[in-house]
């Protein structure tokens, strides 16, 4: 099975930013330009998360999304501040293939998952998990790791699967942006808990980190941000390394 | 000769825009089809696909397009993409049993695989019986995004492996073509497939 290598853009319009621990934002580029660059490098997909829409309680900005979508002939997942079926429709209209949900489903109305999956198909509904580690469990957060939910990560991923989500984007509040390796135990627990694909993010610092994650947790995809934004590695280099080590990836 | 590609608009989501964008990139002229009259006026037909089998057929019935599609299937080339390929068959099992268009004698069932579903990502194709739209693409990879598969024994054009499971990834019979993958999300290989379809 081929592990998908995905480029993740955390966007604070009009810029792609890179938060560390989801805070301390640094501007790294323009969404459409970076999306094109990673497409040319061989990304399997692009994830685009407007990381402030929910916090500012405004709608996601559609123009930037359309501009970015126009650069891509690969799947494009978009999220941030999504809270209605109208948001879903509009995002698909602007070129999204999948919509990523977190805050609203977690903190207010999980039924939106069911409704969206029924209407747009399971594969179009991705649930974003921001996991933070406590002594012996992980808790779901929202709004870039700012707001607690008191929901246990493993219970919540099973619930969203049951409700019809087609995929999970798993982020770690503790590891994000640090480039010091993934939380591979968290990843394995989540991958094993559900039947749907899990894309793991947060923590890639070296090629070995990515390989270790894939071999240990067997996620369906790995989402990379900082490593790419700072030109430490290209997607081509990552795929070549993994292929040489016997891990299947697309061309 | 006029060569307008009609993309049938059914279902609420649809990924009509990305299909349209890709066909234009392949050099095609696109018309979005909502009515019987529009369907009869175009030269070739694409059934795009995102959503469920049942909703898709319901919407085609509501727009009175089922009979029109059956009328034109002898003269116009039709390409079904993903769900659009699935509804070319006789029977779907998503949210209850639903009759499909019946152009290909097959059924659509949940993927029988011991791996994560939906199947997402780029995979290669194994050609069983090639056809004009696959010309030059035998060694390419295409993007898949599906939980159901077409189960049939005839009209198979290609197979694809996912985990240890082989499923039908494209079908062809006369003027009817179906691909389980998304050419509009499959980089330049997908554009070439659309070019092949435009040139039929």
For chain A, which residues make up each domain, given as ranges?
4-244
Q: Which residue of A has its CA nearest to B140?
A: A251
pLDDT, mean over chain B: 94
Is the pLDDT at A189 greater than 60, yes or no? yes
Beta strands in chain B (DSSP E): 4-8, 29-33, 44-47, 78-81, 89-92, 98-99, 104-110, 119-124, 126-127, 141-146, 148-151, 156-162, 165-173, 176-179
Q: How far apart are CA A4 and CA A18, in angstroms?
A: 22
Q: What percent of chain B has pLDDT over 90?
A: 86
pLDDT classification of B13: cutoffs 50, 70, 90: low
Residues of B with CB under 8 A from a CB of A: 12-15, 17-18, 21-22, 25, 50-52, 55, 83, 115-118, 120-123, 141, 143, 145-147, 162-163, 182, 184-188, 190-191
Which residues lie below 8 Å from residue B67, measured CB to CB, with a gap of 6+?
none
pLDDT tens for B126-139 read: 999 999 999 999 99
A196 and B186: CB-CB below 8 Å? Answer: no
Surface-to-core class of residue B136, CB atoms within 10 Å of its CB (0-12 exposed, 13-18 middle, 19+ buried): exposed
pLDDT in tens, B86-99: 999 999 998 889 99
- Structurally, what CATH architecture does the domain formed by A4-244 represent? Alpha-Beta Barrel (3.20)
Q: Domain count for chain B, please give it.
A: 1
Q: Is the pLDDT confidence value at B172 over 90?
A: yes
Q: What does the alpha-carbon distance between residue B73 and residue B174 come to, in Å, rounded to a whole number?
A: 9
Q: What angle do helix axes A184-193 and A153-163 make, rounded to 10 degrees?
A: 40
Do residues A144 and A22 touch, judged by C-beta distance below 8 A?
Answer: yes
- Phi, psi of A106, rounded to the nearest 5 degrees: -75, -45
CATH of the domain at B72: 3.40.50.880
Any CB–CB contact under 8 A between A121 and chain B? yes
Residue A30: exposure state from Cβ atoms within 10 A (0-12, 13-18, ≥19): middle
Can you list the alpha helix ranges (DSSP code H) found in chain B? 16-25, 36-41, 53-62, 66-72, 83-86, 187-198
Q: Which domain holds residue B138?
A: 4-198
pLDDT tens for B101-124 read 999 999 999 998 999 999 999 999
Under an 8 A CB cutoff, do A120 and B12 touch?
yes
List beta partners, residue B145. Answer: B120
Distance set, CA A109 to CA A95, A155, B26, B177 (Å) = 25, 16, 42, 41
ipTM score: 0.92
* Residue A51 DSSP one-character state: S
The shortest CB-CB distance from A92 to any of B15, B185, B190 is to B15
Distance from CA of A32 to the nearest CA of B (A): 16
**In DSSP terms, which residues pair with B173 in a beta bridge?**
B176
């Amino acid at each position: 099975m081929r592990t998908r290598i995905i480029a993740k853009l955390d966007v604070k319009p009009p810029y792609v930013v890179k938060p560390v621990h989801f805070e301390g934002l640094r501007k790294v580029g323009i969404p459409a330009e970076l999306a094109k660059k990673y497409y040319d490098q061989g990304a399997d997909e692009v994830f685009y998360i407007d990381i402030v829409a929910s916090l500012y309680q405004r709608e996601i900005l559609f123009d930037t999304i359309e501009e970015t979508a126009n650069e891509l002939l690969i799947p494009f997942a978009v999220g941030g501040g999504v809270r209605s079926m109208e948001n879903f429709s509009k995002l698909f209209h602007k070129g999204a293939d999948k919509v990523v949900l977190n805050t609203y489903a977690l903190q207010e109305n999980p039924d939106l998952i069911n409704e969206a999956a029924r209407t747009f198909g399971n594969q179009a509904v991705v649930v974003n998990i921001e996991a933070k580690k406590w002594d012996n469990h992980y808790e779901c957060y929202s709004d870039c790791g700012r707001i607690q939910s008191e929901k246990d990560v493993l219970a919540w991923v099973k619930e969203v699967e049951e409700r019809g989500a087609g995929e999970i984007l798993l982020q770690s509040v503790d590891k994000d942006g640090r480039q010091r390796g993934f939380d591979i135990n968290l990843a394995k627990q989540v991958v094993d808990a559900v039947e749907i694909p899990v894309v793991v993010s947060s923590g890639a610092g070296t090629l070995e980190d990515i390989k270790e994650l894939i071999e240990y947790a067997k996620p369906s995809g790995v989402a990379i941000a900082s490593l790419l934004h700072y030109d430490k590695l290209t997607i081509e280099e990552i795929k070549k390394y993994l292929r040489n080590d016997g891990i299947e990836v697309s061309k | 000769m006029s060569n307008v590609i009609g993309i049938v608009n059914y279902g609420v989501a649809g990924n009509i825009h990305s299909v349209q964008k890709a066909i234009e990139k392949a050099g095609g002229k696109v018309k979005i089809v909502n009515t019987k009259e529009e369907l009869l006026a175009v030269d070739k037909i694409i059934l795009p696909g995102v959503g469920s089998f049942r909703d898709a057929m319901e919407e085609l019935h509501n727009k009175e397009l089922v009979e029109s599609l059956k009328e034109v299937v002898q003269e116009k080339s039709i390409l079904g993409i993903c769900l659009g390929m699935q509804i070319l068959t006789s029977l779907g099992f998503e949210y209850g049993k639903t009759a499909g268009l019946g152009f290909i004698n097959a059924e659509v069932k949940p993927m029988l695989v011991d791996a994560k579903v939906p199947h997402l990502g780029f995979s290669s194709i194994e050609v069983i019986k090639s056809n004009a739209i696959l010309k030059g693409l035998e060694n390419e990879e295409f993007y898949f995004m599906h939980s159901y598969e077409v189960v049939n024994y005839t009209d198979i054009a290609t197979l694809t492996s996912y985990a240890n499971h082989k499923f039908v990834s494209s079908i062809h019979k006369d003027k009817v073509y179906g691909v389980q993958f998304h050419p509009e999300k499959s980089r330049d290989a997908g554009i070439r497939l659309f070019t092949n379809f435009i040139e039929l």
